[in-house]
Structure 1
Amino acid sequence: MNAPEPPDHVVKAFGLTGPAPIALTREWEGGWRIGEVVLSLVPDHPRAAWSAKIREDLYVDGLRVARPLRGTDGRYVVSGWRADTYIAGSPEPRHDEVVSLANRLHQATADLERPRFLTQPPAPPFTDVDVFNAADRAAWEDVPMRSARGAGFAEPTSPDGAKSIEMLKTLATLRKPVQAKPQLVHGDLFGTVLFAGAAAPGITDIVPYWRPAPWAAAVVVVDALAWGGADEDLVERWSDLPEWPQMMLRALIFRLAVHALHPRSSAGALVGLSHVVDVVRLIL
């Protein structure tokens, strides 16, 4: 679903002229293309400004990065909009390449500091950012979903929502302590990496989490198995990543928590996650 078309004062604030805006899709967060620039309405101002600042100077071998444009007054975000250079491509089911990209990207982000906003707990009125924040904590805190309950998230009432909570709590009993150090990672690479033939893959944003790098790779694998038609051998092909079974387990708990908490979750999404539950149980 696209954001409303960017207003004229925003277009002018980024110094843009030229053709009428063209609507883009999910990988651009429903943004609008004007020439070689994309304008996107941001859900969270601090995160958008942080991502822009990081992408401005981020260089990773074999990766195209959408670079931010500043407004005429030097800001990354103007009236809730950001501007980025357009990079060609669309998501493709090249799952191993996405995992490989994740590993290269997170080598480059390993020394970045933890943004202050990642330390803040979810708070009402809840946005999508709060949902993913609470779900992330659920996978790692001693009592899963404690942060969500403490923040006032409503317990899911749908049958599939209740089922996801039941599976989540059962899986949480299989967690073991991990030694991998947390760092800045991009936690939403599945379905957002752009491929254009033989060109290097590209990213349009960085969705930040403070978790071990193998966890972010595991999220890609969980998503690919659940909704991307990936073969189960994908799990084995990346099993040399540190503490892989536990990373897969925590990535799966994270996705089940998102399903339980997100108001737009569909019953069909749980079918794919249930399949991943069976796969992950075999490697624990």
Structure 2
Amino acid sequence: MPVPPPDHVLAAFGVPAAIPELLEGGQQQTWRCADTVLKPTADTAEAAWIARTFETLRVDLLRLARPVRSSDGRWVVSGWTAQKFVVGRAAARYEDILAAGDRLHAALTDEPRPRFLAQRDDLYSWADRLAWGEIEDVDQRIGTGHAAKLYDEWAGGRRPVTLKSQIVHGDLFGNVLFAGSAAPAIVDITPYWRPPAFAAAIVVVDAVSWGGAGDELVESCMERHEFGEMLRRALLFRLGVSLAHPRSTAESMVEVMSAAQMLRPYLGE
């Protein structure tokens, strides 16, 4: 059962008395109260870095969910963070999502690598490192079934890449919001240290897996340098998450596997 932010957290962030509204997405942990959105964080260092970075970041033709400080200047209060609510809804505007990601990443080019990334050990960070061949599946999370064998096959086809890594938003699909003619809004920043083309490849994999996208979207991205290798790693990332996530469903696995088969000709083999 989702647990709303406690009263003392609302008070610390200056939120007026109101009944918090559980928002869609956000892993069923994100709440809106008036014009403020609150969500719990398991990593105070990451949450503080996101808040500091996006407090003043300006990106042309983008709206960003601005962080909110508590009354005593903190970014995190009792494990909760806050940001301003931005109007918009997710939509199947995949070219616009990719363009929004490109603009964000261009603005983040000179950001140094934060230390917390090396220490992060959640499932998604594990799947990211596994997809890039930086670790092995020493704890056997991916198992030994058909999908795991395909994972090993696709991983064996990886080739070195020359693309430069930087801070990227690794979960743009569903986190770019649209509202009429307003500029797109980007929310729920999930930072990784990877090439921007990898973040774009994750959008493509997600759009094919769950958004009904087809070859046209993939082909529009293939002019990006080394995009086939980025697609391969993005597929490995999503497949790794699906294989290891405790709440994965058979349906979700089928969707990712179907996307992998459709994308296979583009993997740069």
Provide TM-score, normalisation by structure 2: 0.93
Q: Secondary structure at the match of 1:113?
A: coil
Residue 233 of structure 2 corresponds to 250
8 Å Cα contact 2:22-2:28 kept in structure 1: no
Name the SS for the 1:194 alignment partner.
strand
**Residue 44 to residue 3, structure 1, CA distance change in 2 (3 Å):** farther
1:96 aligns with 2:73: no
* Residue identity in the other structure for 1:117: F
Question: How far apart, in 2, do the equivalents of 1:164 and 1:95 lie?
Answer: 27
Aligned to 1:170: 153
- Whether contact under 8 Å (2:3, 2:29) holds in the other structure is no
Q: Distance in 2 between matches of 1:3 and 1:45?
A: 20
Question: Corresponding residue for 2:127?
Answer: 135
- Comparing 265-274 with 216-225, greater Cα deviation is found at 265-274
Deviation at 1:155, TM superposition (A): 3.2
The question of 1:210 aligning with 2:168 is answered no
Give the superposition deviation at 1:28: 8.2
Q: Return the offset for 1:280.
A: 2.6
In the TM superposition, structure 1's runs of 4+ consecutive aligned residues that sit over 4 Å from their partners are: none
Structure 2 Cα separation of the partners of residues 204 and 232 of structure 1: 27
Q: 1:87 is paired with a residue of what secondary structure?
A: coil
CA deviation after TM superposition for structure 1 residue 117, in Å: 1.3
Distance in structure 2 (CA, Å) of the matches to 1:234 and 1:208: 24
| Residue identity in the other structure for 1:177 | P
Q: CA deviation at 1:30?
A: 3.1
Q: CA deviation at 1:11?
A: 0.9
Q: What does residue range 187-198 of structure 1 map to in structure 2 within 5 Å?
A: 187-198=170-181
Q: CA RMSD in A?
A: 1.8
Calculate the TM-score normalised by the size of structure 1: 0.89
Paired residues, what number? 267
Q: Which of 226, 242, 246 is equivalent to 1:263?
A: 246
Report if the CA contact (8 A) 1:164-1:259 is conserved: no
Offset of residue 281 of structure 1? 2.0
Which position in structure 1 is the counterpart of 2:14? Answer: 15
Q: CA deviation at 1:156?
A: 4.7
- How far off its partner does 1:258 sit? 0.8
Q: Aligned with 1:133: secondary structure?
A: helix
In the alignment, structure 2 segments of 5+ residues that lack a partner are none
Tell me, yes or no, if the aligned pair for 2:204 and 2:217 is still in contact at 8 Å: yes
